[in-house]
Every structure is written in C-alpha cells, then in structure tokens.
Amino acid sequence: MIDLKDKITFGEPVLDRFFNGYSPHEYLLVRFANKVGFITVSDLFSVVTKTSVPKATERMLSKAEDIWIKDIQDEMFVYSMNGFSKVVKIVRRRIYEPIYKIETEHHETIISKSHRFVKLINEEEVLTKAFELKEGDKVYTYSPNNPKIETVLKVQEIKPDFLHVYGVLTEDFGAFVNGIFGKSY
C-alpha cells in the first residue's frame, strides 16, 4: 500500500520501483491556479522547481541512479480516468532500460519498458508493462467526455534521444499522457 504523506512504499522489488517513466517530450493536461493547459512532463518537473508556484519539496532518492522526487504541496491536477486527479509527486530518473513507442489509432507515447498500462481482455482490466503490450491489445485513451478504448497498432523498442524519463504520481495512480492512460507506480 502507498502512504502518500510520508514516503513511497512499494509491493514490488526495489530494482523495479522507478522504472516507470515517460519521454521528456510527452504531454499532460494540467489544471493549476484556475488555468488548464497542456505541458510536457519535463516542463512540469522544471516548473515545480521554481520557488514561486507551484510549491514543491525536491529530494534526491538515489545519487547512483540519478533519481529525483518532487513532493507537490499545492493543488495541481492532471487529467486521469475520473477527471482531474491531484498530483502528489513528480519523479525524474536516468534511463537504465529500453524505451518503447506505443501507438494506437489516434495517439502515441514514448515510455520506459516497465511502465504500466491498463489493457482490456474480454472487458476485464489487466495491468501490464509496456513491453508486454502487443498489437491488437485494447487500452484506454483520452476523449473529451469519457475515456475511450483504442487498439494498439504498434509496439516498438526505440533508441532514445534523451537521458531522463519522468513519472507523475497522482492520487488515483494514473494519468493520460499523450492521450494514452498509464498507471503511475
């Protein structure tokens, strides 16, 4: 179980803890200070570094693995399955595993190998890692009124042109990034 106020505790091995992450170029729909707009995950991480708004506490989790966490103290929200979900933490980590490009009918996202998605098998939701997704799988994607279901058209390992990936931990443990719903830690 995750205790969001004090620390992150995981039910999985330590080495797999922070392998979730998006390319710095992927975008989120964010609501903050009565404004709504799209921002890349790397810009979101950078924005919360500034001392003005939003407020965040930054700490290095692992120097050896270059993992940084920002605990968000203000009311910042990203779009998720049930509308906007409060952002609790933002993580940046160095890449230590392959990167994948996932394409659906109308969306694509670039993520780390172990990033988690919800796929549908016979209308049942199953948590799966990016590298386990296959062409023909069904995933949730962004739609202005309600999430919709789209087919995965392509899953491809790619060579990244960046050094870090970013994760966003929300109160409901997920967000639409580049229009595709992914789980956060």
Per-domain boundaries in the chain? 14-183
Q: Is the pLDDT of residue 49 over 80?
A: no
- Please compute the mean of the pLDDT values over residues 110-130 and round it to a whole number: 91
What pLDDT was estimated at residue 53? Answer: 52
Fold for domain 14-183? Endonuclease - Pi-scei; Chain A, domain 1 (2.170.16)
Q: Which strand (E) or helix (H) includes residue 14? A: none
Q: Give the pLDDT of residue 5.
A: 33
* Residue 132 pLDDT class (50, 70, 90 cuts): very high
Over 90: is that where the pLDDT of 36 sits?
yes
- HSE-up of residue 19 (Cα within 13 Å, Cβ side): 19
Higher pLDDT, 176 or 6: 176
Instruction: Tell which wins on pLDDT, 104 or 64.
Output: 104
pLDDT: which is higher, 178 or 49: 178
Q: Output the six-digit token pair for 56.
A: 């965040």
Q: Burial-class residue 79 by CB neighbours within 10 Å (0-12, 13-18, 19+).
A: buried
Q: What is the pTM of this model?
A: 0.81
- Does residue 154 have a pLDDT over 60? yes
* Phi–psi pair at 4, nearest 5 degrees: -75, -20
